[in-house]
Amino acid sequence: MVAMMRLTAKDILSRHDKALTRKENFRDLYEEAYEFALPQRNLYDGYYDGKVSGQKKMNRVFDSTAINSTQRFANRMQSGIFPPQRKWCRLEPGSDIPVDRKQEAQAALDVYSDRMFDSLKQSNFDVAIGEFLLDLSVGTAVMMVQPGDDVNAINFIPVPQYLVAFEEGADGQVDNVYRRMRIKGEVLKRQWPDIKISETLQKQIDNKPTDEIELIEATVQDQKRGDYCYHVIDKASKEELVYRRMDTSPWIVSRYSKVAGEIYGRGPLITALPDIKTLNKTLELVLKNASLSISGVYTAADDGVLNPNTVKIMPGAIIPVARNGGPQGESLRPLPRAGDFNVSQIIMDDLRKNIKRILLDESLPPDNMSARSATEVVERMKELSQNLGSAFGRLINETMIPLVTKILAVMDQKGLIDLPLKVNGLEIKIAAAAPLAQAQAMEEVEKVMQYAQIAQSSGPEAMSTLKMTKMMDFIAEQLGIPQSILTTEMERMMMQQEQMEQMAQMAAQNPEAAGAVAEQAVQGVMDQQG
């Protein structure tokens, strides 16, 4: 029997501090990205510490292009990978399932899939994944998957990545997650029924039940056993309040893209950040120049000597001067306006286009056109999948597959399903069925259909190279057609047998007509069998 690993509270706090120190390298980068593009989700400004609750979060934001495009980025990612009220993945038998049992297994997995998506419709998944994808635009997104109540079987908690630090394993996947928490003392027992509170902490809670207690929540993988240890540590007293062992981690940690040697992600907002900051500064200067143009700045004749140290350039200001041109000059004259609005407008238009392009907020044709055809939707998804590049594969591996695995584990735990197989890719594999994945699959379908058209136009000999039944099965698989509406091999054999019996009856009644029908039927069977 493998020995159990048990880290002390001191060990947990030490590892958390080290993980948090590594994350500090990203602090300035992430803070600016949230400030200019996701100000309402910015916790880097001291909000978590309770110093600036209710503050204005857009003091340095003059242009809303990045804010709007980031929201559209998250919406497009959700509609392309996790579309609401749709099945965005399917469960398939893995390579360990014998071929003769795959159809039976697929039928059972279709039932599990239906139950899973029925549970998701009743949960907060659509809201949670939307917030999750907003954080992903910066680079790193975090979410917890936990058992729910009798109404909502599964609970999804998007956690601001500001509160989380983590460690990677040797395979580059996130193993250990540490979260900072502030929670009122009076709700500790409701949050963790198995909590162990010391006498000192209990007195503190009794005296000030509404005061917040700072905790460190840690989920650490036992490298020897493969399961996870769950800890809740009181940061002030360094006491362990909760300890559990879990088969799976409740955490989903996804990185949009990752640089070698780094464990935190970099999203499209990081790429667009120089353009976003430049656009904000340019618009700030344009607005200042516009205010000068509206109110004007004037010079006034004065016999004194102009002191430049006392001159302030502001709307409506009057600057005393010795004279306004000529021997006498005008008593009052507007100051010539500096700056070229046309040049600044060109610069801002280019910057806005760059930001939208990076955040995949380009629409050709525009979104405000009439209803789109199915072909147009597919073409849009193809373009989006191409623009995502390797990020799409990372989203599938770090978000979709772990997410479905944890959802099924929770459903199995709550008795909603009885899953006899492991979701490990060998017994049960998870295949993406969202619009983005289908757009990629359509390329394979188009190749097959193109070949079929060429074969059809080339004559019977060319058509004989196609196995029609296999071709249709392939197309159905690529398009994610449910197995329940397709005929099985046994059903197809029975249908062929019925056709042969009908031909035999026709032959007995009308030999001449039966001959032509039989010829067509034989050709159809030959086409099916290749």
Query: Tens of pLDDT along 93-147?
Result: 998 988 888 888 888 898 899 999 999 998 999 999 999 999 999 999 999 999 9
Give me the pLDDT at residue 291, please: 76
pLDDT at 223 over 60: yes
Query: Which one, of 341, 337, 336, 335, lies nearest residue 321 by Cα?
Result: 335
Exposed, middle or buried, 527 (CB in 10 Å: 0-12/13-18/19+)?
middle
Report the candidate in 255, 272, 201 with the shortest Cα–Cα distance to residue 232: 201
pTM of this prediction?
Answer: 0.78
Distance in angstroms (rounded) separating the CA atoms of residues 241 and 50? 24
**Rounded Cα gap, residues 445 and 452, in angstroms:** 11
Cα(411)–Cα(86) distance, rounded to whole angstroms? 19
Q: Does position 367 have pLDDT exceeding 60, yes or no? A: no
Confidence at 473, pLDDT banded by 50, 70, 90 = confident
3-state DSSP assignment of residue 152: coil
Other beta carbons within 10 angstroms of residue 120's beta carbon come to: 22
pLDDT tens, 45-104?
Answer: 766 666 555 566 777 899 999 999 999 999 989 988 999 888 899 898 998 988 888 888
Please, are residues 5 and 224 in contact by the beta-carbon 8 Å criterion? Answer: yes
Distance of alpha carbon 214 from alpha carbon 49, whole angstroms:
10
Residue 1 is predicted with a pLDDT of: 42
Task: State yes or no: pLDDT of 483 exceeds 70.
Answer: no
Buried b / exposed e along 224-244 (16+ C-beta atoms within 10 A): eeeebbbbbbbbeeeebbbbe
**Residue at 458: amino acid letter:** S
- Reading the block at residue 313, the tokens are 């350039």
Comparing 60 with 237, which gets the higher pLDDT? 237
Lowest-confidence region among 78-82, 193-197, 416-420, 494-498 = 494-498
Mean pLDDT of 222-243: 92
Q: Say how many C-beta atoms besides its own lie within 10 A of residue 82's C-beta.
A: 23
| Length of the chain measured in residues | 530
pLDDT in tens, 192-216: 999 999 999 999 999 999 999 999 9
Q: Is the pLDDT of residue 168 over 80?
A: yes
**471 vs 458: CA distance, rounded Å:** 18
Whether 336 has a pLDDT exceeding 70, the answer reads no
Pairing, β 228-234 against β 239-246:
antiparallel
pLDDT mean across residues, the chain: 82
Lowest mean pLDDT among 240-249, 286-295, 403-412, 512-521: 512-521
